[in-house]
Amino acid sequence: MRYTRKVSVWPVGLVQPLSVSTPIVKNSKVVGFHDGRSQAKKFAMRWTGFAVNIEFLLQHSKTVTSMVRNFDEDYFLQTLNIDLDDLEVKANNCTQVLAWNTKTVQRKFPKVEHMYKYHLYHPDLNLRLLYQNTLGINVSDWMPTKTTNITL
């Protein structure tokens, strides 16, 4: 976090409804979000899942002045005029959960939609390692039964 130049990102554990909220990472770049809330968001992240360099933040006075209104993660990050490419990937390419939300109750097994299953199984993405190594969930049973066309 200390070396954040603009915005750095990482997975957060114990976040409903998927048990984890994380950027989807391919070749060290963020290509999407695995969060389970609105897919309409540009940055589907939780407050506990990112850090902003304070000097970079202060260069965006609109962000600071709008913080009292429309105060959600997506809105906040969009005021920084950044793209997915600007996000600095932490926690070993987002394959580890180092931050946990402690006030949510975890389901026994995450409810995962078909599209997410495809992401989880995808060998080029961080999600499989993240679920297997950090959350102890074996995703190999979750291979989607039909091919889904998802471009990342």
Ligand X SMILES: *[C@@H]1O[C@H](CO)[C@@H](O)[C@H](O)[C@H]1NC(C)=O
Give 80 or 135: the residue with its C-beta nearer to ligand X: 135
Active site (annotated) includes residue 73: yes
Give 8 or 79: the residue with its C-beta nearer to ligand X: 8
Task: Answer yes or no: are the C-beta atoms of 99 and 66 closer than 8 Å.
Answer: no
State the nearest-atom distance from the C-beta of 81 to ligand X, in Å. 26
State the nearest-atom distance from the C-beta of 64 to ligand X, in Å. 32
Considering only residues 70 through 99, tell me which ones interact with ligand X, judged by CB under 6 A. Answer: 92-93
Tell me the per-residue interface mask from 21 to 60 with ligand X, x by CB under 6 A, - otherwise: ------xx--------------------------------
Burial label for 46, CB within 10 Å (0-12, 13-18, 19+), is middle
State phi, psi for 30 to the nearest 5 degrees.
Answer: -75, 125
Number of chain positions touching ligand X (CB under 6 A): 4
* Distance, first Cα to last Cα, the chain: 26
C-alpha distance from residue 79 to each of 56, 60, 63 (Å) = 12, 7, 5
Show the tokens assigned to 130.
Answer: 């993240």
Q: Which residues are catalytic?
A: 73
Would you tell me which residues interact with ligand X (CB under 6 A)? Answer: 27-28, 92-93
